[in-house]
Structure 1
Amino acid sequence: MNEEKIQHYGDELFEAWRARRVLRPLLEREPDITIPDAYRIQQRFVARRLQAGETIIGKKIGATSKPVQDFLGVYQPDFGMLTSGMAFQEGDTIDLGTLIQPKAEAELAFVLKDDLKGPGITAMDVIRATDYVLPCFEIVDSRIADWQIKIQDTVADNASCGVYVLGKTKGDPRRLDITLAGMVLEKNGELFSTGVGAAVQGSPANAVAWLANTLGELGIPFKAGEVILSGSQSSLVPVADGDELVCTVGGLGQCRVRFSGRSAA
C-alpha cells in the first residue's frame, strides 16, 4: 500500500475518533491490505493524536484470550499504543459520550521500573523489569461499524484502544503467582465471568514478553515508567449508563469502574 493511502486511512481513523463516528471496514475497501500496512496506518493514526497534544505512556496487547478472539474473529495477538488521553484511575467515572461502541475487559497491567528492548526478552526478564502489577479495566472501542473487524481493521485502529482504568492495589509479580491467580468479574453486583492469568498466552508475563520482542524487532523499546496492558482475562462486557464493574484478582485486589452517559453508536 502506498504512502498516500496509508496517510489517508490513518487520518480517516483519527477524524472518526475525534468525531465519534464509525467507518466501513478497511479490509472491505482495501482487500489487499496486509498486517504491515495496517501497522503503518496505526502509526499515522497515533501520530495525529500526538500532534493534537497527547503523549505515549505505554502499550497494550490485544486479542490474547479465546473469548475475545471468538468474539472478534481475530485469532492472533496484536498491539497498540496507550496515550495520555486514555488514562483513568479507579474511582473515576467514564463518560460514555466520549466513546463510540465501548466494551470492557478485565486484565492485569504491568508498570515497568526498567527499560526492556527485544528481541530475546523472556517472561522472567519481564518480571525482573516490572515495578508492580495492578488489576485494571480496558474499555475497548472501535471506529469500525458494528465491530465488523478482521485483524487488519483492529490493528489499523490502534488495536481498538478506547480508555483504561488502573486499580489502586499494587502487587509484586515476584511474590504473586500471576499465572494461577484467579480473576472474578462482576457487573452491577452479579457475577459476569471468571478467568485466570494462564488464559493469556499461558501467562500475562508471556504476553508482555511477546510484545517486547515484537516491538524490539521494529526498534521500539519499552521504557521505565510505562504501563503495559497484558491482555484480557475476561469476556467482553457491554456497558451502559449507570453500570458498575468490579474485577478482583486473587492475592492482589480489586479494580472498580462506573459509567455514565450514552455512547455515540
Structure 2
Amino acid sequence: MIYNLDELARRQLIDYKHVNPGTCFGEENFALTIEEAYAVQDAVVSLRLEAGEKVIGYKVGCTGPGTTKLFGMQGPIRGTLFDTEIHESGVKLNSDHFLNLAVEAEMAIEVGENGNIVSVFPIIELHNFIFRAPKKSLSELIANNGLNRGIVLSNKTWRTLPETYDKTSLLSLEINGSVIDSGELWPMEGGPKSSLNWLENHLGNHGLKTTESNIILGGTALGLHRVQPGDYIEVKVDKKIAVQCVINPRSEA
C-alpha cells in the first residue's frame, strides 16, 4: 500500500504529543518498509524543528542481547534525540508524560570535531514501550523513533575517555534499591567506536551527519525494563551511582 508519508508524519507527531504514539500501526494491514519508516521519522524531525526544537544527537538501538531478545529482532536502528527531552540526574519525572514508561541503563558518546569521540558517560534512556502491530517489526520501532522519550544525563564529572574503562567494567540498573540488570558497558564488539561508525555510515546514507557536541546513545547490552509511579531508578558504573531519577504521578511532579 502507498501512504502519504508527510500526512503520516503529522499524525505520528500528534499521537506522540498526546502520549498515544504509533496508533497507525494498530490498523489492520498497516505496514511500512524500513526506508519508509526512516522517511516518516525524518519527516517528524522536520516538523519538530519547524516548531522550534533542536536535534542534539542520535540513538543506536536494538543492538544488545537484552533488547534483541525482548523485541525478537536484530538491529541496529537509528533514533533522533531532541533538546526538549534532556533531563539532569535527580529529576522527578511525571509518569503521565509517558505511555508504558520503560528505562534502559546505557552509555552515551559525546562527539567532537570531525566525528571523534570526546567522552563517554552513563545515562538513563526513557521509552514509550509500546508496539501496536500484531507482530513487532523494525519498521514500527524506527517510525516511532526507537521508542525514545528522552534521556537522563549523569553529572559532567562522569564524562571521560573510553579508555578509562575496560572489559571488566560493569553497568547496572537498580530500581528501588534492587539490581534489575547488569552487564558490559557496550553492546557491540569494538565498543563505542563500533556504534559511532555504524551511525555515521547510516546517517550518510540518509543525507545526515553528526555534529560537534552531539550526544550519541551507543546501545546497551542490558534489557529494557518497565517502571511505575513511585519507582526510584539508579544507574551505576562499577557499583558507583552515576545517574538517577524518580517517577512521580502527575499530582507530585
TM, length-normalised to structure 1 = 0.85
* Alignment check: 8 A CA contact 1:142 1:157 kept: no
Extract unaligned runs of 5+ from structure 2.
none
How many residue pairs match? The answer is 248
SS in 2 for 1:233: coil
Q: Deviations over 1:124-154 (max 9, x none)?
A: xxxxx22221110101115644896310011
Distance 2:63 2:94 in 1: 27
1:234 is aligned to: 222
1:149 is aligned to: 136
SS in 1 for 2:113: coil
Match of residue 164, structure 1, among 122, 131, 151 = 151
Please say which of residues 129-138 and 253-262 is displaced more in the overlay.
Answer: 253-262
1:124 is aligned to: none
2:121 is aligned to: 134
Letter in 1 for 2:123: C
Distance 2:35 2:5 in 1: 11
Distance 1:222 1:111 in 2: 10
1:219 Cα deviation from its structure 2 partner: 2.8
Letter in 1 for 2:247: F
1:40 is aligned to: 39
* Alignment check: 8 A CA contact 2:10 2:44 kept: yes
SS in 1 for 2:5: helix
Distance 2:208 2:162 in 1: 26
1:254 Cα deviation from its structure 2 partner: 1.3
1:81 Cα deviation from its structure 2 partner: 0.8
Distance 2:46 2:40 in 1: 10
TM, length-normalised to structure 2 = 0.88
Matching of residue 25 in structure 1 with residue 21 in structure 2: no
Matching of residue 95 in structure 1 with residue 94 in structure 2: yes
1:205 Cα deviation from its structure 2 partner: 2.6
SS in 2 for 1:232: coil
SS in 2 for 1:199: coil
1:155 Cα deviation from its structure 2 partner: 0.6
2:75 is aligned to: 76
1:177 Cα deviation from its structure 2 partner: 2.6
Matching of residue 189 in structure 1 with residue 177 in structure 2: yes
Question: Following superposition of structure 1 onto structure 2, how do residues 60-75 of structure 1 map, counting pairs within 5 Å?
Answer: 60-75=59-74
* Alignment check: 8 A CA contact 1:64 1:201 kept: no
Extract unaligned runs of 5+ from structure 1.
117-128
Distance 1:135 1:171 in 2: 8
Distance 1:105 1:12 in 2: 27
Q: Deviations over 1:28-72 (max 9, x none)?
A: 5334x2101110011112222222221101111110111111111
Letter in 1 for 2:103: A
2:199 is aligned to: 211
2:211 is aligned to: 223
- Percentage of identical aligned residues: 23
Distance 1:190 1:252 in 2: 14
Please say which of residues 233-242 and 22-31 is displaced more in the overlay.
Answer: 22-31
Distance 2:205 2:175 in 1: 39
Distance 2:133 2:8 in 1: 18
Letter in 2 for 1:196: E
SS in 1 for 2:39: helix
